[in-house]
Amino acid sequence: MSADRAYRVLDAGTRAWWRTVGRRVDLDGEHAWLRAPAAEAGVIGPSWLDAAAAAVSGTVERGGERGLVPDLAALDGPGFSADDLAPDVRDFYERTGAWTMDAWSSWSPLFQPGGMLVEHLFGRRLQQLALPVQPLDVSHGIDSEIVGIVDGQGRQVSAAWLRRLRRTGQFLFSGAYAVRSLPGAARPSVHVTFPLEKGNVQVFLRPEVRADGALVLSSASRAFGRDGAYVVVHGSRGEAWAARVPIHEEFVVHVDDRGELRTDHELRVGRARALRLHYRMRRGKVGQQDSSTSILTSR
């Protein structure tokens, strides 16, 4: 069996497994909150952008200091007000393209082999969800671009955050960021979608504000229809299945005692910590030679 055919069998088998453990969903009705961009076969990268724009009768727009969320007040509701956030925290989300990032990661020894396996079998090949697990993978830095998916009325429906290795041009992450309300929720969540072949991975993050103006985004719930991580698989006849994934994330975006904007990011599988990341954000155009984005990986 050729490598290409073996990978096609692997991908089809993976989708079949998610259909087995998931539940049938109606993306045009009861479960419309799970309707999100998907990709066709092959390398993911930015391949899904045009279809995502066409789905909202809109266009793909590049350039400028576009933000992941144009106005964080869209998240306002009982228990949350964007006006309570530290100014730099809010500016980062509303003008993400004006900032660069450095990041450090630390894997749990228990989960690092699994991360390496996923990166080898899926991440590098599909150029999606390819979290670096070796320090030299990102030694030359990472380029980052914010792309707007804008509807026919000129409103940003979502923002694509595209990140790739500068040395090779290989994509690491390609995600759509938006604001979406979950069924029965008192206020909206931050909705992140990573398109995959005939489906996607989605994460809903509940926003909170700390007393010091920090933004906390978390996906701690275990119930279907609440904040958390989901895998959605599309069938050949318009059917769809969704499975709740026991992965929990928390981001704490804060200004430190030196006035620098930083983020602590923790990923857990069940109750076990799998990965911790720390980011430092600085103002400066993303993608310019004198203000590159880089990730420093340590164990």
In angstroms, the CA 251 to CA 5 distance is 39
**pLDDT, position 132:** 64
Residue pointed to by tokens 């980062």: 92
Q: Which of 116, 129, 143 is nearest to 45 (CA)?
A: 129
**pLDDT higher at 223 or 188:** 188
In angstroms, the CA 295 to CA 299 distance is 13
The domain limits of the chain are 3-297
pLDDT tens readout for residues 236-273 = 888 999 999 999 999 999 999 999 999 999 999 988 99
Q: What is the mean pLDDT of the chain?
A: 86
Q: Sorting pLDDT into bands at 50, 70 and 90, what band is 296? A: very low
In angstroms, the CA 187 to CA 206 distance is 9
| Structural contact between residues 155 and 295, judged by C-beta atoms closer than 8 angstroms | no
Q: Sorting pLDDT into bands at 50, 70 and 90, what band is 141? A: low
**pLDDT, position 287:** 46
Q: What is the pTM of this model?
A: 0.90
Query: Which of the listed ranges 9-13, 35-39, 276-280 does the model predict with the highest average pLDDT?
Result: 35-39
pLDDT at residue 90 is higher than 60: yes
Structure token digits, residue 7: 């990978």
74, exposed or middle or buried, with CB in 10 Å at 0-12, 13-18, 19+?
middle
